[in-house]
Amino acid sequence: MRESQILDADFFGRDTVEVARDLLGCVLCRRVTPRRVIRVRITEAEAYDGFEDRASHAHAGRTARTEVMFGPPGRWYVYLCYGVHWMLNIVTRESDYPAAVLLRGSDEVYGPGRLTRLLQVNLDFNRLPAIPASNLWIERGEPIPMGRIECHPRIGVAYAGPYWSQLPWRFTWVK
């Protein structure tokens, strides 16, 4: 695999909504053993962007948990949801601008909790850079055909109010 195909900080440092859309079709790679790499194509992703986004964890301010969202782009933000499920996010935008993209689904499994279970991802990956040395990284995929991307409101964020919960910041790749 050529080095240039691994998504880096230049990719993740851009506008969060664009990154979320562009991640569709990209390949999430997880090395589970020295000889085994699980590869899945990303089919659904959600953007969480900025201080003002009431659906974002960062809206409440900078805390120990959300600190990584304020850090440099291209790092993993992992947290536990409902006491059961690990959620996998990739940090976007420049340092001091809190933003991330939640990876919600893939061609192999659908659902953010199922995705992390399949890939054996847990809090150990929090704050690590998305590079092969971390055993969890993303590679560029084949472009998605025109008209195969849909955008929808984000899931489970009704508490953010009508405006923020209805923004079309969830992108899905429909086959």
State the nearest-atom distance from the C-beta of 155 to DNA, in Å.
4
Please tell me whether residue 56 binds DNA under the rule CB under 7 A. Answer: yes
- In DSSP terms, 78 is beta-bridged to 88
Q: State the minimum distance, in angstroms, from the CB of residue 5 to DNA.
A: 25
Interacting residue with DNA among 43, 89, 106, 135 (CB under 7 A): 89
Cα gap 102→113, rounded to integer Å: 11
Figure out which of the listed residues 14, 85, 127, 140 binds DNA, where binding follows CB under 7 A: 85
Three-state secondary structure along 30-51? EEEECCEEEEEEEEEEEEEECC
CA nearest 3: which of 116, 154, 132, 144? 132
Q: Near DNA by CB under 7 A, which window of 20-28, 33-41, 63-71, 134-142? A: 63-71
# of chain residues touching DNA (CB under 7 A) = 37
Nearest-5° angle of CA 40, CA 43, CA 48?
Answer: 115
Q: Do β-strands 85-91 and 27-33 pair in parallel, antiparallel, or remain unpaired? A: unpaired
Q: Does 84 contact DNA by CB under 7 A?
A: yes
Nearer to DNA, 39 or 59 (CB): 59
Of the residues 7, 28, 55, 138, which one makes contact with DNA according to CB under 7 A: 55
Residue 27's DSSP bridge partners are: 41, 139
50 binds DNA (CB under 7 A): no
Neighbours of 112 (CB within 10 A): 23
**Footprint of DNA on this chain (CB under 7 A)?**
46, 48, 55-58, 60-61, 63-66, 69, 77, 79-85, 87, 89, 100, 102, 104, 111-115, 117, 154-157, 159
